[in-house]
Structure 1
């Protein structure tokens, strides 16, 4: 493609976008400027061929990398065979995808309800919990994001909940976050103990018999990639068991390799009742999500109609992409790579940056799921202002790095296929840019 045509395509793409596309979570007068035309592995390009190293995984979902040829071919083959079919039918690809998922879940999970993404996965998990228990309330944390449908957005704790509070029966509490502890804790163990005591009191104050479920991200993602302190998730499980409350673990962002494990909760001595997923299950190649249902809850609906469904539940193209993604992640050791690269490359490199740059208040994470929290002052932990975060983001883009910037944090979240060389390339850009902060 010649330079003139490439420039025209970039320009036309922007003009079409500005004229006709209504963007998520945005004031519509502020049009995005980054044009993405193609991708491969951990890199994307615009029409003119300018390259960006993708350390955002888009919305932390392209776990297998862009355009994996095996997955692309699986989608093509399924499209030639059958592009769509009603969810009330039996379809081989759907059964295969469900089997691949439950094979990686704990024992006692044999059924999957497929959705179009993570928000409606959480929406339907909440519905299942209420119907199974006969109770109404859902408890979730303030530092959380669970999606943009009716109950999922009200379960969300961040600012996006507030203009959308139309669903009933949602109660929020504070989860553990030692760096900005709500509990005056000074150690991870203390933070865990006090956070659990706080949740215990919220349960008692709300009335345990009114609570259907506690909904948690196994590792809160958009809220800051906050690794659970020792004993916290197991302690939540014990509280739920004591009061007949279900535990829903949201693995939409942290599942399928992101933490260096198939499910993030596998590292924290806990077994949920319902597991929600999306994103990494097929790297977003075709919209898909779902709920992995424990046998006890699934049995509730053996003779009782589950009052929920979606036209595209278990869509054949999505199912083929799930089967191919999970098979390739297994055969190519992609989950193991995420674990190793986090331990040997990303973690040590970010720790060195924190030693070097006063603007980094804390580094935390595991696998390919990390955050650098930036502060104006290390002593007071005052967050770096939004204007400065925006400037840093622009500087990273100028240097060819596609970052994930959220509030006062840079989330270091490359695809699970990232190499040591690509980590070094990104870290050099972080280093360069943070020196100007």
Structure 2
């Protein structure tokens, strides 16, 4: 890691330009103070004041191979020297190679890839494909979910970011997915949760009308809304319901694809194959915007002689696909999937469970690979969240204080509502991983105090 020397003049200039001219997403513009970032390397980034931070959120859970990975940077540089851009209607070797590599690690019977610019438009186009193939418009999605900020994707989203964007796509219906810790079905075990959640989903299908439902979209492991790992049997049960009622199963792997839980695609861990898989983020660590849809042969064949009515100017952009190819090379050379599984099982899981025993504010820890959540509560018996659902301002103060303690100690955390997520770059050293977990352990004392107040 090479921290830059403090440069307060640069800090001031970046702040001034940002505040005067940059309009930030998901923000009240006058109420934010974005950190001016000077650089990054591996699992660390730093500001212009010389402060370094362990990146325990991988930015937006996209920086799977870390900041400034030399192989990804070199791939972009080589591609820029050969061919900087070409329109998607033409064939390009870099685009075609990445599509082949992706299809080779997808489930059997997935041969085609439609490239997009990110995860939201990947989900948007997957829904479009499902509607065109089935002739049915309605889509079911979970309440605890995030699928993007384009028109249909934000409607699919179940979390509060949807509210201010309504109405958008009126053909979306939400349902409750499994969440054993806060079961909507009064389940007392994973087995009960699976059975009752599937019964609820089937009743939703029946009452909404199977003849009207084109697709069900699920995050394979729910991301921002809780790192909810599906209980055994749930995803195969969804697959069975889709088969029974003629519904397309879309797996949203934008956040958990490409190694986050130690698999190429998270569905590989649950013995299930969907009909469409959406991806983005980890495919090239976000070095250049890229996403896409991996399409089953059955759906792809529908468009052999029927035009697909969609496209993007930058679909399969060579500068984005080149670091995607390099990502495959790095994963295989460095055993990334294996190390993620190892670190999750040997280091992260045991340490978080120790924290759960130690800190009264920890209600539950859950996760897999390098993707975990610590759910903070005021009372373990009642499971009252440390802060209310969708808390803001003074209501969110305990989580803000916890995050501030982490940052002061040199760690940039991922917090959402009453949870802290552990999602560092997959290339993080074991020493840095342990150091980051130590910081979280110490910062939980702040949550303990808030819970006791």
Calculate the TM-score normalised by the size of structure 1: 0.98
For 2:3 and 2:270, how far apart are their aligned partners in 1? 53
Structure 1 partner of 2:13: 12
Structure 1 partner of 2:139: 138
Q: Could you give the per-residue CA deviations for residues 172-196 of structure 1, whole angstroms, max 9, x where no partner exists?
A: 0000001110000010110010000
Structure 1 partner of 2:397: 387
Larger displacement relative to structure 2 (126-135 or 334-343): 334-343
Give 4+ residue runs of structure 1 displaced > 4 Å after superposition. 1-5
Structure 1 partner of 2:78: 77
For 1:276 and 1:246, how far apart are their aligned partners in 2? 13
For 1:384 and 1:12, how far apart are their aligned partners in 2? 38
Structure 1 partner of 2:233: 231
Aligned residue among 241, 245, 248 for 1:246 = 248
Q: Could you give the per-residue CA deviations for residues 366-412 of structure 1, whole angstroms, max 9, x where no partner exists?
A: 00000000011111111112210011111111111011011100000
Output aligned runs, 1:413-424, within 5 Å.
413-424=423-434
Q: Is the contact made by 2:3 and 2:50 (CA closer than 8 Å) also made in structure 1?
A: no
1:16 aligned counterpart, secondary structure: helix
Unpaired segments ≥5 residues, structure 1: none
Structure 1 partner of 2:408: 398
Structure 2 partner of 1:282: 284
Q: Could you give the per-residue CA deviations for residues 229-285 of structure 1, whole angstroms, max 9, x where no partner exists?
A: 010000000000001111000000011000111110101111000000000010001
2:197 aligned counterpart, secondary structure: helix
Instruction: Describe the shift of the 1:2–1:396 C-alpha distance in structure 2 as closer, same or farther (beyond 3 A).
Output: closer
Structure 2 partner of 1:354: 356
Instruction: Describe the shift of the 1:3–1:84 C-alpha distance in structure 2 as closer, same or farther (beyond 3 A).
Output: closer
Q: Is the contact made by 1:341 and 1:419 (CA closer than 8 Å) also made in structure 2?
A: no
Larger displacement relative to structure 2 (215-224 or 412-421): 412-421
Structure 1 partner of 2:224: 222
2:7 aligned counterpart, secondary structure: helix
Cα offset, 1:5, TM superposition: 6.7
Cα offset, 1:2, TM superposition: 12
Cα offset, 1:419, TM superposition: 2.3
For 1:311 and 1:134, how far apart are their aligned partners in 2? 27
Q: Is the contact made by 1:233 and 1:270 (CA closer than 8 Å) also made in structure 2?
A: yes
Cα offset, 1:81, TM superposition: 1.1
Q: Is the contact made by 1:145 and 1:223 (CA closer than 8 Å) also made in structure 2?
A: yes
Structure 2 partner of 1:194: 196
Output aligned runs, 1:21-420, within 5 Å.
21-165=22-166, 166-385=168-387, 386-420=396-430
Q: Is the contact made by 2:3 and 2:52 (CA closer than 8 Å) also made in structure 1?
A: no
Q: Is the contact made by 2:228 and 2:366 (CA closer than 8 Å) also made in structure 1?
A: yes
For 2:363 and 2:200, how far apart are their aligned partners in 1? 26
Q: Is the contact made by 1:140 and 1:171 (CA closer than 8 Å) also made in structure 2?
A: yes
For 2:121 and 2:38, how far apart are their aligned partners in 1? 29
Q: Is the contact made by 2:198 and 2:234 (CA closer than 8 Å) also made in structure 1?
A: yes
For 1:2 and 1:343, how far apart are their aligned partners in 2? 31
For 2:3 and 2:262, how far apart are their aligned partners in 1? 42
Unpaired segments ≥5 residues, structure 2: 388-395, 448-453
Number of positions where the alignment pairs a residue of Structure 1 with one of Structure 2 = 437
Instruction: Describe the shift of the 1:345–1:3 C-alpha distance in structure 2 as closer, same or farther (beyond 3 A).
Output: closer
Larger displacement relative to structure 2 (392-401 or 32-41): 32-41
Calculate the TM-score normalised by the size of structure 2: 0.95
Q: Could you give the per-residue CA deviations for residues 33-52 of structure 1, whole angstroms, max 9, x where no partner exists?
A: 42211111101111232211
For 1:4 and 1:429, how far apart are their aligned partners in 2? 24
Structure 1 partner of 2:444: 434
2:214 aligned counterpart, secondary structure: strand
Q: Is the contact made by 2:5 and 2:48 (CA closer than 8 Å) also made in structure 1?
A: no
Q: Is the contact made by 2:377 and 2:386 (CA closer than 8 Å) also made in structure 1?
A: yes
